[in-house]
Structure 1
Amino acid sequence: MENVNWIALVVAALSTLVIGFLWYGPLFGKAWMKETGMTEEKAKQGSMPLRFGLSVILAFFAVFFIYANSVITGGMPPDELHGMDVSKYHTFGHGVVHGISCALFIAMPVLVTNALFEQKSFKYMLINVGYWIVTFAIMGGIVNAWM
Structure 2
Amino acid sequence: MSCDIPELTAHLGYRLRQLSNHVSQAFSRKLAAKDVTVAEWTVMRRLYPVESVAPSQLADAMGMTRGAISKLADRLVAKSLVVRDASATDGRAHFLRLTAHGAEMVPALAALAEQNEAECFAHLSSADRAVLERILANAVVQLRITATPVE
Which structure is richer in relative contact order (CA contacts within 8 A, separation 6 or more)? 1
Which structure carries more helix by proportion? 1
Using the size of structure 2 for normalisation, the TM-score is: 0.32
Which structure carries more strand by proportion? 2
Using the size of structure 1 for normalisation, the TM-score is: 0.32
